[in-house]
Amino acid sequence: MAIAKIRSFLDSGLKSVSQPLSERASANLEPEIGIRIVHSPNDKNLRVTVLGARHLPQNFGFTRVNSYVVKVKLIPGKDKYETTTRNESWPQWNEEFVFSLRKETKVKFGKSKFVEEEIGASKFMVATLYAILEDKPLIATEKKESDKDKEDTDRTPAGKEKKDGKKKDGKDSSGASGTQDAKEQSKGSKLLNQFFGKGSDKIGESAGSERKAFEKRRTIGATTIPLDPRNFTTKPLKPKHSQDVSTGDMWRTLKPISSGISGAEERRENKKGQVELSLCQEKSDKKDVSSGRLVLTLVRLRCSLQSMHEHEALKGQMYIKMSVVDNGRVTHFWKSDRFSPCVSMKFDADQAQVIAENPYEGALKDVSFVVKFVSKNKIGKKITVGHFVIGPEVGGTYSEQWKQALAKPGQQIVKWQHFE
C-alpha cells in the first residue's frame, strides 16, 4: 500500500514538472486559442496577435494531424490573414496582423474620402483554427503489403529478363527512321509547349496543389471576440503610442461554426449532425393558383468533433440527398458531391435545392421533403447517418418550418434541422 502511494506521488510529480507552466495553468481540456488585440487610435488600426493554441487533437480518426494554422478576420470587413503552420499540439505563434480601421468611401466627381471606423460591439474579430492532415493514414498495412509484393517481383530474375526483353525489342523494331521521327515529334511538342502549354500547365499544377492542400484541412473550431471598448482595459507591454489600449492575453474555447441566424436552442450540437435549411413558397402571378412553387434550399452542414472522428474512421466520404416525395413517390431529388468528413460546410444556394410544384390549390397536402445524410466507404457500402422529413404532418420543428413557409409566401423561413 505504501509503495503504491509513493509510486503515484512520483508519477504525479514528474508529470507536473514536465508540463510547461502555461499548460498547468489551464484546467480546461477543450481546444483553446490565445489572442491579444491592441487598438491604436493614432495609427487608426487594430494589431491582432495570435499567441498560440492548446489541447488540440493530434489524430482525426485513423489520420494523423500534420500541422495547425489559424485564420483571423475582421467582421464586417474583407481583410483576413493566416498564420504559418505549426506541427505541435500546443503550438505557439506570437504572430501579429494589422487591420486598418480607415475605410475609403466614394463621393461625387470621382473623389474618395477616408473615414475611420470606430470599434464597438457591432464589430467582431473571428479566429478559426484548422488542422492539416497527413497524406498517409496511421494504419497502412494494405499499402505496405502491396509495395512489398512489388519489390519482390522486381527482384526476381524473371521480372528482370522481362523488362530487359521489352527494352531490347523496342530498340530493334524501331530503326533509324523511327528514332528520327521520335526526335522530330519531341522537338515539335517542345515548341508547342513553349508557345501554348507551358503557362497553362504551371497554372493547372498550382491550382491542383492548392485544392489538394485545402482538402486536407479540417476545421477544429472558431472563437468570436466582440470589439467592445470595455474589453480594452490594459496597456500594452511595449506601446507605440501613449493612447494604445489592449485586451491583454485572452484564451478562448473553440466552438463549432454556426451561422447565428437561428436561436441558441436550435444551434445546440447534435451527434448525428444538423443542416441549415431555407424553405420558401414563391408567389404566383396566376389568378387560379393560390401560391407558387415550394423551394427547399440547403445552406450549410454542421457536425460535432466526435462525429467527424467517427466518420474519419470509416475511411469514406459523405454526401447529402434531398428528395421531393408526392404520395409515396419520389418526383425530384438533388444529391451533393461527395466530401470528406468535416465539422462545418457551406453549399451553393443556387444548386443545392429541390422544388415541389403547386399547380392547383391543395396540391401540396400529400407532398413532403426527405433529407438524408449518407456515408459511403471505399468499397461502396452506404450507411445512412441520419435523416428527417419536412412536411405538413411530421410534427416538431419539421412541420413548423413547413407551416410558416405556407403562411408567409415569398418569405425565406430559415431553420436548423437535426438528423434523427
Residue 4 has pLDDT above 80, yes or no: no
What is the average pLDDT across 160-180? Answer: 46
Q: Which residues pair with 65 in a beta bridge?
A: 133
CA-CA distance, 318 to 51, in Å (whole number)?
Answer: 35
- For 75-86, b/e burial (b = at least 16 CB within 10 A) is eeeeeebebeeb
Q: What does the pLDDT look like over 279-337, one tens digit per residue? A: 998 876 655 545 678 999 999 888 876 777 777 777 778 899 999 998 889 999 999 98
Residue 180 has pLDDT above 80, yes or no: no
- The per-residue pLDDT for 77 is 81
pLDDT band at 183 (very low <50, low <70, confident <90, very high): low
Contact 296, 388 (CB under 8 A): no
- Residue of 244 and 272 predicted with greater confidence: 244
In this prediction, what percent of the chain has a pLDDT beyond 90?
25
Sign of CA dihedral 69, 70, 76, 77: negative
Q: How remote is the C-alpha of 30 from its chain's centroid?
A: 19
Residue 385 has pLDDT above 70, yes or no: yes
- The per-residue pLDDT for 353 is 92
Residue 139 has pLDDT above 70, yes or no: no
Q: Which residues contact 24 (CB under 8 A, 6 or more apart)?
A: 16
Q: What does the pLDDT look like over 203-229, one tens digit per residue? A: 555 555 555 566 678 888 889 898 888
- The per-residue pLDDT for 163 is 42
Which of these ranges, 32-46, 141-155, 261-275, 389-403, has the smallest mean pLDDT? 141-155
Contact 268, 256 (CB under 8 A): no
What is the average pLDDT across 173-195? Answer: 52
- The per-residue pLDDT for 259 is 38
Domains along the chain? 32-137+212-253 (2.60.40.150), 274-418 (2.60.40.150)
Between the CA atoms of 311, 316, 322 and 328, what dihedral angle is there, to the nearest 10 degrees?
Answer: -100
CA nearest to 85, candidates 139, 142, 140, 133: 133
pLDDT band at 159 (very low <50, low <70, confident <90, very high): very low
CA-CA distance, 47 to 232, in Å (whole number)?
Answer: 12
Q: Which residues contact 66 (CB under 8 A, 6 or more apart)?
A: 85, 87, 132, 133, 134, 216
- The per-residue pLDDT for 19 is 40
